[in-house]
Amino acid sequence: MEKEWNFLRGIRGKIEPVKKAQKRSGGISGALLCTRREVGGLTMDTGTEPQLWQGDCLSILPKLPSHSVDLVLTDPPYNIGVCTQRRNKVAVNEWDRISDYVGWSLAWLTECQRVLKPNGVLYFWHNDMRQIPALLEAIRQHTELAFVSFCIWNKGETYRAKSWRHRDPDGKTALRSWFNICEYCLHFFNAPKDADASWKCTGLDRINSNPSCYRPIKEWYEAEKRRLGLTDADISEKYTAVTGRKPHMLRHYFRDSQFEIPTREVFEGVYEALGFRYKSDGCQGYVGLRKEYEGLRKEYEGLRNYHRCDEMHSNVWNHPPIPSHGRYHTCQKPVDILERILRVSCRPEGTVLDCFMGSGSTGVACVKTGRRFIGIERDPSMFDVANRRIRESAAD
């Protein structure tokens, strides 16, 4: 067994895949045993089982294949000096004090951008409004991640001691700022600038402004124009005569830029009146055109950054915090919030990366929702907790 993982030892930082972790945890569930392949010094799964790596994410991320991940959902250190109380002593956690925090953040974000698919999505948690603006500006300047949403986890009145609700405004403990009962989740779409120009867009324009999309319909249109000997001016004149409007929409009908098809009224009153004839799969006229358009649109939907609306779809998530006596990690997030993010932003059976895995809550959410999971955690004890929790979820 040890020989099988010898090639991992040359990587900076201590890396312990799940197979090696089973020596400490007494074996792992068969649901987590997987077929692996070597990628640049790491062994990657080819199956659907979770992949867990123990080590520094800045050492491990460069070994992951490019364009292999659908969603990055992670909770990095906030650089605020999170404290933990042990044996009646409060100490700042070493992992939450980082010099050149923005530069360090850009290092892991740039790697996450590389491993994301061109239509990938990224979320990361934070709670320090003094640092978030600097992070957003650095991301805007130095990455190809497009900022989409600023989501708020409202922990409600049960967060921390209740004494904050009734402070004496003239007393020694009077609050001098609004008491924060929230954490924030920043939401981005991947929008690679080195791809086709249409990929700079993140919504429908990624499809509708891509010259390669809807080619059968565009080619039919050009062929009909040639057959009928019509010019754009002929069509514009007919459009204005029928609709009473200026022909601005003709810049989009059947075009490479912001592609659209006309309404039934316009198609029948303008195009069919000029002699255009459409037939596809036994359907004629506008019905046939619409049928082919809808089929192609569904086919191209995968080009877009994934986002599926759910009920009460707003950027404020009201959810009580995990009680301190029930947490594995100081910064642990509720699994059901993570499950919701997965359902909204990752296709079923898609691949999710958490490069600051902590106690493994994202991995648990992936197992419960049927997504593939790659987790990286530096702390050996937290890695063991994550391995156990994900194992147990897979066995349920």
- Of 238, 272, 303, the position where a domain reaches its end is 303
Does 184 lie in the same domain as 68? yes
Long-range contacts, 200-204 (Cβ 8 Å, 24+): 202/146, 202/148, 202/304, 202/305, 203/304, 203/305, 204/304
Helix and strand element counts for the chain (H, E): 12, 14
Number of domains composing the chain: 2
Lowest mean pLDDT across 40-49, 96-105, 339-348, 380-389: 40-49
Predicted confidence at residue 71, as pLDDT, reads: 98
Task: Assess whether 236 and 315 both reside in one domain.
Answer: no
- If asked whether residues 241 and 360 sit together in one domain, one would say no
pLDDT of residue 89: 62
Q: pLDDT digit string (tens) for 77-113?
A: 999 865 565 566 655 566 557 889 999 999 999 999 9
Boundaries of domain holding 254: 205-303
Claim to verify: residue 12 and residue 99 sit in the same structural domain: yes
Higher-pLDDT residue of 231 and 18 is 231
Residue 128 lies in a domain: yes
Condensed to tens digits (0 to 9), the pLDDT of residues 350-381 reads: 999 999 999 999 999 999 999 999 999 999 99
Residue 274 and residue 342 in one domain = no
In this structure, what are the phi and psi dihedrals at residue 375, rounded to the nearest 5 degrees? -125, 140
pTM of the model: 0.74
**Which CATH number characterizes residue 92's domain?**
3.40.50.150
Q: What is the pLDDT of residues 183-227, one digit of tens each?
A: 999 999 998 765 555 445 556 777 888 888 999 999 999 999 999
Q: Which of 280, 303, 326 is the last residue of a domain?
A: 303
**Do both 287 and 367 map to the same domain?**
no
Are residue 285 and residue 311 in the same domain, yes or no? no
Evaluate whether residue 26 is within a structural domain.
yes
Residues 118 and 97 in one domain: yes
Question: Where a domain ends, among 281, 303, 325?
Answer: 303
Whether 228 and 244 share a structural domain: yes
Please tell me whether residues 91 and 111 are part of one structural domain. yes
* pLDDT value at residue 90: 56
Are residues 151 and 282 located together in one domain of the fold? no
Per-position b or e across 141-167, b if 16+ CB within 10 A of its CB:
eebbbbebeebebebeeebeeeeeeee
Task: Give the residue among 79, 110, 297 at the shortest CA–CA distance from 188.
Answer: 110
For residue 17, the model assigns a pLDDT of: 39
Contacts of 365-371 with C-beta under 8 Å, sequence gap 24+, read 365/335, 365/338, 365/339, 365/341, 366/50, 366/342, 367/50, 367/393, 367/394, 368/335, 368/339, 368/393, 369/339, 369/342, 369/343, 371/71, 371/342, 371/346
Residue 5 confidence (pLDDT) above 50: no
Q: Which amino acid appears at position 370 of this protein?
A: G
Separation CA 167–CA 163 (nearest Å)? 7
Residue type (1 letter), 289: L
Residue 200 lies in a domain: no
Residue 387's closest CA among 357, 355, 366? 357
**One domain for residues 187 and 333:** yes
Does residue 173 sit within a domain? no
